[in-house]
Amino acid sequence: MDNSKIGLHISGQFNKELEDVRNKVLAMGGLVEQQIELAVTAFSTGDMEMADLVIKQDDQVDTLEMAIDQECMQILALRQAEAFDLRLLITVIKVINELEHIGDLAEQIAKIAVHLSNTERSKSNQYYELEHMGELVQNMLHGALDVFARMNIEDVITITGWDKNVDREYDNIIRLLIIRMMADPRNINRMLDMLWIARSLERIGDLACNVCEHIVYMVKGEDVRHLTQRELEKKLKE
């Protein structure tokens, strides 16, 4: 499905307002995507300026969320939005909430990076697994934002499918960290830092899936939350 629905308004002004909201969501999403990448890099390289940037970016993300939220409320109050337009506005309100939460998780990773840089660091290659998990969830968010931009919901099943890999990586990392903790209890604090980062990345994957589900609702008008991957696949083929 393309964006043509948005062009069908009698009111060109209403049309412009909806386009403006969509663009702001994509800008906010791009910023959050960058936060994930920088946070994981700051953690693995120990670049503290980068970590500080991620923490600063979170204020911008919060401000964007509140601004877009308010814009949607104004449109809802002034226009009798119906059908697709109403779903678009409500979806935006839900999606920016997920994005704000992802930004918080990226900020948490950046704060752990700062904390870790103050403790003894081991070789960066030790962080390979987390870097890879970071790339996976960043790709998921990128894909979700692309679905929002192009409304190509047939891509949703690919993105939600990636979450299985994220969960598998997460389980492996946790197992590995527990083995390292048991092998040398002096590692426990550093291993716990990595454990929190793995957990945050795993959550980001879930939130990217939520974004996809919201967009499916916007486009199809069907609530596909709490479906299994197979059920979702079936629904999208209908």
How many residues bind its own copies (CB under 8 A)? The answer is: 31
Window 185 to 214, contacts with its own copies (CB under 8 A): 185-186, 188-189, 192, 195, 199
Q: What's the rounded Cα separation, in Å, for the pair 32 and 196?
A: 19
Whether the CB-CB separation of 106 and 58 falls below 8 Å is answered with: yes
The Cα-based distances of 48 to 76, 114, 131, 160 in angstroms read 42, 6, 17, 33
Is 167 among the residues that bind its own copies (CB under 8 A)? no
Q: How far is the CB of 127 from its own copies (least distance, A)?
A: 20
Window 70 to 89, contacts with its own copies (CB under 8 A): 70, 73, 76-77, 80-83, 86-87
| Residue window 92-131: x/- pattern of binding to its own copies, with contact defined by CB under 8 A | -xx--x----------------------------------
Is 10 among the residues that bind its own copies (CB under 8 A)? no
Tokens, residue 220: 């199809």
Is 69 among the residues that bind its own copies (CB under 8 A)? yes
Torsional class of 83: left (φ above 0), alpha (ψ -120 to 50), beta (otherwise): left
Query: Which of 152, 151, 191 has its CA nearest to residue 175?
Result: 191
Cβ partners under 8 Å of residue 83, min gap 6: 221
Residues engaged in binding its own copies (CB under 8 A): 62, 65-66, 69-70, 73, 76-77, 80-83, 86-87, 90, 93-94, 97, 178, 181-182, 185-186, 188-189, 192, 195, 199, 223, 225-226
